[in-house]
Amino acid sequence: MAAAFDDFKFNKQVLNAIADAGYTEPTPVQQKAIPSILNGQDVMGIAQTGTGKTAAYVLPIIMKLKYAQGEHPRALIVSPTRELAMQIEENIKAYSKYTDLRTVVLYGGLGPKTQIENIKKGVDIIVATPGRFMDIYLAGNIVTKTLQVLVLDEADKMMDMGFMPQINRILEIVPRKRQNLLFSATMSDKVHQLAGNFLEFPTVIEVTPQATPAQTITQKLYYVPNIKTKINVLRSLLDAEENAISKLIVFCKTRTVAEDIYKYLARKYDEKQVKVLHANKGQNTRINSINAFKEDEVKILVATDVASRGIDVSNVSHVINFDVPVVYEDYVHRIGRTGRALQSGEAITFCNPAEVYYMGKIQKLIRQTVDVYPIPDGVFVEQTPYEEKQNQDREIDMQKRKENPDFKGAFHEKKTQNQRKKFDEAKKKADPRTAHAKAAKRQKKKR
């Protein structure tokens, strides 16, 4: 197995770009994937984010394409989110800086006019989200017959986001004779099925056991009764000197919670130190937030799961799951934002009574038990408001029903005799036969 990038027989241009990027030795996924890809094999890679998988497929693609040629794309990389597509394009530009290869990135959220103009100038590599790629293709602006390599990155996320119809359309319009590469952090049944349709006798590369967090991440779990106490614990952790939080992502389940946490942190700390990222934000705002976080202009990024995949930001010291994710795989992706490129990181999760169920499922998935820590001294534990408690109880009932369909639950409708009587009377009135009988009776009286 290659111990250095020189062992892969890369040309001088690629090696110089790797040296400029500061890489000294290949990661395990690169050691396993690069030789097979250079050899023309179809590859299925099971590798979580932060393991260097983008470079694992981008470097051999650059090596195979070598220089600009013709007008139409020779490689297509499909990604589930615009953020990941932009990240991949950045990587390609860095690795191909000593070549004249042309890359165009396509994603929704802004008009296609400029993207179409860039394609028409001539392109070697297209990075795209599935929907936007198909829109531009169907408008007659992309020629696919020259494609040699097709990459599906974050295949599991594409399945989760319902992109399967677009993926199938893409597979129909690309040449049959091509090299296929599929990368996924988890190996769900859907991904397995896709791999069967898409790959020809693939080389399977599994860098870590499926869905296990990187070894460099320390995981902590706090059982916290409600939102207000979660905020108190968050403030305590941020203020504690021993935590040395230099760069933090706070993940929230919904846009509303993300917005509330952002406003709180912006008031409590410096507004210039905090940014928020969720689907309601405009494209430019999202790009600016990510760039400001990357460039160390802000210390804290509050985000929904739109940012949990593909955002490659180095030196994130901490990730805090303000809410436990309901999609269990998202836990792996969220905490994978820290501990990247063999650096250490800390992932902290706040779990209320209604989230204990999901946390149990997550620990089963990652095959690890996350250490539980007591709420820090001095943190005020708030009373859970009535409405929040009701919502938690409903959620717990729903979870119990999921596990046992016969479970009736605290919120099961228990009709009293009176309710039953009223219900029967209303039913009688609504019955057309009853209405017909009454009308006939009235007619009889008139006679």
Digit-coded pLDDT (tens) for 160-183:
778 888 998 999 999 989 999 999
Tell me how far apart the alpha carbons of residues 29 and 64 are, in angstroms, rounded to a whole number. 19
Mean pLDDT, residues 364-393:
92
Query: Strand 75-78 vs strand 217-223: parallel, antiparallel, or unpaired?
Result: unpaired
Tell me how far apart the alpha carbons of residues 233 and 239 are, in angstroms, rounded to a whole number. 10
How many Cα atoms sit within 13 Å of 46 on the Cβ side?
Answer: 17
Statement: residue 141 has pLDDT above 90: yes
Length, in residues, of the chain: 447
Mean pLDDT, residues 195-201:
83
Mean pLDDT, residues 5-19:
91
> For the chain, what are the domain ranges?
5-206, 217-380
Q: Are 213 and 335 in contact (CB under 8 A)?
A: yes
Give the burial class of 361: count Cβ atoms within 10 A of its Cβ; 0-12 exposed, 13-18 middle, 19 or more buried: middle
Mean pLDDT, residues 326-342:
76
Question: What is 5-206's CATH topology?
Answer: Rossmann fold (3.40.50)
- pTM value surpassing 0.75: no
Q: Which amino acid is at 140?
A: G
Query: Strand 125-128 vs strand 274-277: parallel, antiparallel, or unpaired?
Result: unpaired
pLDDT for the residue numbered 60: 95
Tell me how far apart the alpha carbons of residues 33 and 38 are, in angstroms, rounded to a whole number. 9
Statement: residue 445 has pLDDT above 50: yes
Tell me how far apart the alpha carbons of residues 51 and 207 are, in angstroms, rounded to a whole number. 9
Q: Are 144 and 137 in contact (CB under 8 A)?
A: yes
More confident site: 237 or 328:
237
Same fold, 5-206 and 217-380: yes
Mean pLDDT, residues 372-381:
94
Tell me how far apart the alpha carbons of residues 76 and 73 are, in angstroms, rounded to a whole number. 7
Mean pLDDT, residues 427-439:
61
Helix or strand holding residue 221 (H, E): strand 217-223
pLDDT for the residue numbered 330: 81
Min mean pLDDT across 279-288, 289-298, 411-420 is at 411-420
pLDDT for the residue numbered 247: 87
Q: Which CATH class is domain 217-380?
A: alpha beta
Mean pLDDT, residues 53-82:
94
Q: What is the DSSP letter of 341?
A: T
pLDDT for the residue numbered 433: 59
Q: What percent of the chain has pLDDT over 70?
A: 83
Angle at 251 between CA 250 and CA 254, to 5 degrees: 130
Q: What percent of the chain has pLDDT over 90?
A: 47
Statement: residue 46 has pLDDT above 50: yes
